[in-house]
A = this chain, B = another copy of it.
Amino acid sequence: MTSGSPMKLDAVTKPVGFACDDHASCVVDGLSAAEARCASNGLRFTPVRRKVLEILLQEHRALGAYVILDRLRDEGFGSQPPVAYRALDFLVRNGLAHKIERLNAFIACAHPGENHAPAFMICRLCDSVAEAQSAPAQGALGAAARATGFKIERTVVEAEGVCPSCSDTAASEATDSGSATSEARG
């Protein structure tokens, strides 16, 4: 994750997660966006909720509720499951975080404030998760829904595969065929 790619996509359509340029700003920006959002919507952005969001923002991957709970305990917050689940529920309800169903884990929203149908790309090698926009109602699923009369309220779109970084690693390892020039991967 020592990227330096000059590529810069439009903020709205940019898939966020793989290769972020300035990770510190992810956390700071994410927290202030959340703060603003809660203030303008009359929501209480309490210490636990803030801390959980901060924990999520610190990684571009999904964290299980019990991992979050451990970190909360380390920070002096309550250490029982409902503490984490309630905060996560708040964040998810208000569009500040998402649940990755495939992993039973949670990730900070990369586009807070925008009304969106998120889609996720999950790397099965390094566990990183990137968020993109989806438009499931416009594709085959939408057609099927219209054909049957099903009313879509919410969609889960998650792709599992290999992220560009791991893909490069795998490719160079295959080339080197055994000699380990590239960095190790957990």
Contact = CB atoms under 8 A, between A and B. Distances in A.
Copies of this protein, total: 2
Interface in A121-165: 121, 123-124, 130, 132-136, 138-141, 144-145, 147-164
A149 B3 CA distance: 14
Nearest to A149: B164
Given A152-B159, A154-B159, A155-B160, A147 B101 contact: no
B148 A140 contact: no
Interface in A110-127: 119, 121, 123-124
B135 A148 contact: no
Contacts of A149: 18, 163-164, 167
A55 to B, nearest CB: 23
A121 B101 contact: no
B158 A155 contact: yes
Nearest to A124: B153
Contacts of A136: 119, 134, 136, 139, 157, 159
Interface of A: 9, 13, 15, 18, 101-102, 104, 119, 121, 123-124, 130, 132-136, 138-141, 144-145, 147-164, 167
